[in-house]
Structure 1
């Protein structure tokens, strides 16, 4: 009996072991299946997240492309080049006195140097000078074209950069060890270097103009007494500094130096009086014997400034011409004084300086207000800046004016040699004008 009970107990224990083993195996299988399902679900989630992230990135890129302003397109028969190297708005430009370079600065922390010989090429390469920890709002070449000065937006001061040629032919730019000491209290309007290499000028929007030596020592300060300044510049001859502003006149001073080069004084030279409202801007001819002014009164005026001002002789008003202008308008006078250019917002108008007749109306040159306007030293080109581009135009009115003047001279010529020379010059100028007008529209 005991034996039977023992066998039954053994069988019962065996059955229990089998049941436990079966249950454990089944649970392991369930856990494995759950793990596989979890893994598959996680993979599906990751794929879904990846697809969603990729789509979100694509949508963001598409929105970015849509939000990014499109490049302003402009074309005109006289457009020689559009220089588009800057990634920020161009605030100032300047031609070197040797005629080889155009410098431009922008709020992208760079100054770019363009070769004028590339203006008529398809590609417009440039050299870049970085403005460390700041950006330049103004740039001006030195008289020898081997350096340039800039006005620093955040530093409120002048920094000098020297240009040097490397062995591989590229250009390097090195900023001076020290910037000029900050002296202005108001927003800066313009800077300039005298062609004589004797002084640097900086002018602010209050009534202050500072005269510096080339090392950053302050030589003199001028109070223009014009309530506010709107523009100031150094004359191309390097003798004068002029300013205009709230009052309806332009004031001109001579910066005087001794025979041995020492600074003497800043003396009042003459004034241009005739406008009935404040003057926006002005410009000199290359020999400083003509000046162009544009005013709030809706006119531009041309002046003969080749006078003996030390004998109290006043400049002569040559011409008054109605025009459109606005706050921020700029004026440019071709080096030979034959062509006047006035900006008004995004537009530029070119006039014959000898007749006052409108020659060219350039509408919508830039998408934003024009910030600078000037002729190159040869008078072949007129350049302006406004947005991220620089537009360079052929000076067709200059060719026409030169041809007209030479034909008048031909009528008065007395000897045959003079007549032949004028005939050849007229032919050359006409051929140049025909080539400009026949060029493909940019």
Structure 2
């Protein structure tokens, strides 16, 4: 029977498609909808107990990169280590950086890894042998490199500086290809704290501590800004606290940007700080998730793009315990809360490629890992 005939007879379509629901007296509004649940189990320790500034799983999920500037035996020593995920033991220690390692990135096939840091260098590594392939020193625009990304095909490396520059290098030769100066606010400096490639390397997204997100295109060997917006309200330069964008992450499809932001604890809480989701194509905010009570300092999408994890502090106070929150991107709601670490906020986190593990840390405490179990059940 065609629907238009059913409609004229005054018979609801749901009665034709689901007669059993009608016999049970159920309305369309009461039909159960799938609701995902998330359970975190752990934490599990690593050996040795390295304290991280940055974390990243290899594309195959078998290794975890840990970088920073704090080791138990020397709190000021820069470090970059490779851990086996299965055993949680260090397999390689990569020497070379003379100051804090700020960011790491893999090519899509996992054969090339890039690291950058406060020594103003990008280092390229062959991950098959974990040997240094190339050392690149940035010659202009700041004295620190805070973020790095590798194009999917491994041919291009971009790095973000502490003075608003994004610099591109040829991965094969180390030659500098171009420099893009991101417009700065009139009343403050600007550091590029996050970089992510999109659309097969034709676009990249940059996040700055001033709260601006830049979508940039690469064409004919040059980069240009396609779109940019501020994630903070217009009155964000408050007398009692200036907000800072801490981290960004790009959804697997490249259509959404997640932004983690912080406002000093003395300042009043306002919408627009914490954790928010933005549409890459339009620059429109699609969700203000709220984040953590005292600001959000880390964020990462799960591989399927349906879940998002954020890190911050569980309560007020400089030494409050760290806190993890797992969110449903589609439903824009909180699924799980987990306290982790003991003395400080969550500063770095990474989700494994299969979504089953979550590495968590900060520069002052040993790295830990949580097991993640997700279940899509039918709940009313």
| TM > 0.5 | yes
Partner of 2:110: 145
Q: Judging by fraction of residues, say which structure has more helix.
A: 1
Unaligned runs of 5+ residues in structure 1 are 1-75, 165-171, 258-262, 308-313, 409-442
The answer on whether the counterparts of 1:114 and 1:126 sit within 8 Å (CA) in structure 2 is yes
* Aligned partner of residue 344 in structure 2, secondary structure: coil
Counterpart-to-counterpart distance in 2, 1:178 and 1:299: 36
Partner of 1:129: 93
Give the paired residue count: 300
Q: Once superposed, what is the RMSD of the aligned Cα atoms? A: 3.0
Matching residue within 309, 320, 325 for 2:288: 320
Partner of 1:220: 178
Change (3 A) 1:393 1:85: same
Change (3 A) 1:274 1:151: closer
Matched, 1:329 2:286: no
Matches within 5 A, 1:141-220: 141-153=106-118, 155-164=119-128, 172-176=129-133, 178-214=135-171, 215-220=173-178
Partner of 1:238: 201
Unaligned runs of 5+ residues in structure 2 are 1-38, 72-77, 237-242, 264-271, 314-321
The answer on whether the counterparts of 1:110 and 1:128 sit within 8 Å (CA) in structure 2 is no
The answer on whether the counterparts of 2:213 and 2:230 sit within 8 Å (CA) in structure 1 is yes
The answer on whether the counterparts of 2:193 and 2:209 sit within 8 Å (CA) in structure 1 is no
Matched, 1:113 2:82: yes
Deviation at 1:90? 1.6
Counterpart-to-counterpart distance in 1, 2:246 and 2:330: 22
Change (3 A) 1:216 1:331: same
Matched, 1:392 2:369: yes
* Aligned partner of residue 257 in structure 2, secondary structure: strand
Partner of 1:358: 334
Larger radius of gyration between Structure 1 and Structure 2: 1
Matching residue within 199, 207, 215 for 1:252: 215
Change (3 A) 1:364 1:97: closer
Matching residue within 38, 55, 61 for 1:99: 61
Q: Judging by fraction of residues, say which structure has more strand.
A: 2
Provide TM-score, normalisation by structure 1: 0.60
Counterpart-to-counterpart distance in 1, 2:97 and 2:40: 41
Deviation at 1:178? 4.3
Change (3 A) 1:162 1:362: same
Provide TM-score, normalisation by structure 2: 0.69
Deviations 1:238-295 (A, max 9, x none): 33322233554411112235xxxxx2x2122233556414533321111212221234
Partner of 1:85: 48
Matched, 1:285 2:248: no
The answer on whether the counterparts of 1:156 and 1:184 sit within 8 Å (CA) in structure 2 is no
